[in-house]
Amino acid sequence: MNQPILECKNICFSYHNLNGETRALTNISFQVNKGEFLAIVGPSGCGKSTLLSIIAGLLEPESGEIILSEHEKKHIGYMLQQDHLLEWRTIWKNILLGPEITKTLTKEKEELALKLLSDYGLLKFKDKKPSELSGGMKQRAALIRTMVMEPGLLLLDEPFSALDYQSRLMVSADIGNIIRACGITAILITHDLSEAISLSDRILVLKRRPATIKKDIPVHLTLLENTPLAARNAPEFQDLFSLLWKEISDEYQGEN
Ligand code: ADP
Ligand code: MG
């Protein structure tokens, strides 16, 4: 468990445009171990998505270094708020899009896709179009599409934000279970503190922009059953929630 697969060392980043420079990240350093589920929380606009884009290799850091093994670099999964399913393709065709594009579509991939669809209650929707599914089902389909690529590192940028509260609880629990069952290393950005506590092993709290790491909080919950919904009833939950709430609201205080 304690084998780091990602190391961020002193990451700094600024955006440059006609209005000048916006410094987004200052000296961000942390590491993520194999199989770990890390949540990142912080005030809106502090630089969370920027950090994820840098880890994904979509943006170059201004200074600092991202150390990621070759295998994980080639197998990064990225899931966003929108499901980005293609409406003209069936769910099955959407799920197999990645292997199709990368020319890695094999019988085994199809079997994996079928297993994931069946495990997560979408098998009977496989020949439907995305618009025929609920928001929660579409997000699950989007996750299966990502999982079919067998990512070594999964990056999730507020993936449940577009869902209503009820679906959000159900889908985040489902998705948490899928990720745990597959033992995938994941980084989840969320503004929902309960979600961060119930899904993750560790939570990084970022300061206001330019973001630095304010706190690195391990999450140890006493659970009767290992589900994210049960996590919300764990005895440690309330104290962790209060701690995070204080850290985040202190950041907003400075703005007034
Ligand atoms: P978060 O995901 O934490 O809400 P972002 O990483 O999206 O924050 O953005 C961090 C800061 O950088 C914000 O203040 C945002 O306005 C600014 N920013 C984001 N993208 C750009 C861009 N393309 N050009 C200039 N500034 C940007
Ligand atoms: Mg964001």
User: Which of 12, 13, 15 best tests ligand 1's pocket when mutated (most atoms within 8 Å of CB)?
Assistant: 15
Residue 252 or residue 213, greater confidence: 213
Mean pLDDT of 153-171: 85
> Are residues 123 and 162 located together in one domain of the fold?
no
DSSP H helices in 56-129: 70-74, 91-95, 97-101, 107-119
Query: Separation of 149 CA from ligand 2 center, angstroms?
Result: 24
Spatial separation of the C-alpha atoms in residues 13 and 117, rounded to whole Å: 39
Which ligand is in closest contact with the Cα of 45? Answer: 1
Ramachandran angles phi, psi of 118, nearest 5°: -70, -45
Spatial separation of the C-alpha atoms in residues 213 and 89, rounded to whole Å: 41
Spatial separation of the C-alpha atoms in residues 77 and 186, rounded to whole Å: 9
> Are residues 22 and 42 located together in one domain of the fold?
yes
Query: Would you state the pLDDT for residue 175?
Result: 81
- CA torsion through residues 157, 84, 133, 95, sign: negative
- CA torsion through residues 176, 242, 166, 221, sign: positive
Query: Would you state the pLDDT for residue 172?
Result: 85
Give the residue among 216, 203, 218, 214 at the shortest CA–CA distance from 250.
214
Assign 255 a pLDDT band (cuts: 50, 70, 90).
low
User: Which of 49, 157, 158, 207 best tests ligand 1's pocket when mutated (most atoms within 8 Å of CB)?
Assistant: 49
Q: What is the span of the domain harbouring residue 223? A: 4-75+151-251
Domain boundary among 111, 127, 148: 148
> Are residues 143 and 165 located together in one domain of the fold?
no
Residue 157's identity, in one-letter code, is D
> Before 210, cis peptide (omega within 30)?
yes
Q: Which helix (H) or strand (E) holds 128?
A: none
Least confident of 90-94, 174-178, 185-189: 174-178
Q: Is residue 137 part of a domain?
A: yes
Residue 250's identity, in one-letter code, is D
Q: Is residue 49 part of a domain?
A: yes
Mean pLDDT of 174-179: 82
pLDDT reading at 256 higher than 60: no
> Are residues 172 and 213 located together in one domain of the fold?
yes
Q: Is residue 256 part of a domain?
A: no
Query: Would you state the pLDDT for residue 110?
Result: 96
> Are residues 166 and 216 located together in one domain of the fold?
yes
Assign 180 a pLDDT band (cuts: 50, 70, 90).
confident
Report which protein residue has its CA nearest ligand 1's atom 4. 45
Q: Is residue 93 part of a domain?
A: yes
Report which protein residue has its CA nearest ligand 1's atom 15. 45
Query: Would you state the pLDDT for residue 254?
Result: 61
Ligand 1 pocket list (CB less than 6 A): 15, 17, 22, 24, 42, 44-50, 209
Phi-psi region of 186 (alpha: psi -120 to 50; beta: other; left: phi over 0): beta
> Are residues 70 and 89 located together in one domain of the fold?
no
Query: Separation of 229 CA from ligand 2 center, angstroms?
Result: 25
> Are residues 18 and 118 located together in one domain of the fold?
no
> Are residues 141 and 235 located together in one domain of the fold?
no
Assign 132 a pLDDT band (cuts: 50, 70, 90).
very high
Assign 96 a pLDDT band (cuts: 50, 70, 90).
very high
> Are residues 134 and 17 located together in one domain of the fold?
no
Spatial separation of the C-alpha atoms in residues 7 and 5, rounded to whole Å: 7
Report which protein residue has its CA nearest ligand 1's atom 27. 15
> Are residues 119 and 163 located together in one domain of the fold?
no
Report strand pairing: 4-17 vs 20-33: antiparallel
Chain position carrying tokens 């840098």: 54
Report strand pairing: 202-206 vs 37-41: parallel
Assign 160 a pLDDT band (cuts: 50, 70, 90).
confident
Q: Is residue 29 part of a domain?
A: yes
The tally of domains found in the chain comes to: 2
- What six digits make up the tokens of 105? 């579509």
Query: Would you state the pLDDT for residue 179?
Result: 85
Q: Is residue 130 part of a domain?
A: yes
> Are residues 69 and 53 located together in one domain of the fold?
yes
Q: What is the CATH number of the domain that holds 23?
A: 3.40.50.300
Least confident of 95-104, 105-114, 176-185, 207-216: 176-185
